[in-house]
Amino acid sequence: MSNTDNFIMLPTVDFCFSELMYIPKVRNGFIAAILKTDPKNIKETTRYTAG
């Protein structure tokens, strides 16, 4: 059994990623990881919705 046998959906799937970005804590953590900073340094985020 490989490590990938337990996943529900890969976060690279657009729908999955979009749903994860609804959650402010996840969104802040993601942005902090990209910026290589502590999530506490992220003051505010907003979720972009197309349409």
Task: Assess if residue 16 is contained within a domain.
Answer: yes
Tell me the CA distances in angstroms from 42 to 11, 18, 20, 28, 45, one per residue in order: 22, 19, 17, 6, 8
Residues 6+ apart with CB under 8 A from 29: 39
Residues 6+ apart with CB under 8 A from 45: 24, 27, 28, 31
Task: Assess if residue 50 is contained within a domain.
Answer: no
**7-38 pLDDT tens trace:** 666 666 777 788 888 999 999 999 999 999 99
Task: Assess if residue 1 is contained within a domain.
Answer: no
Q: With 60 as the cut, is the pLDDT of residue 2 above it?
A: no
Domain that residue 33 falls in = 8-41
Task: Assess if residue 2 is contained within a domain.
Answer: no
Domain count for the chain: 1
Task: Assess if residue 36 is contained within a domain.
Answer: yes
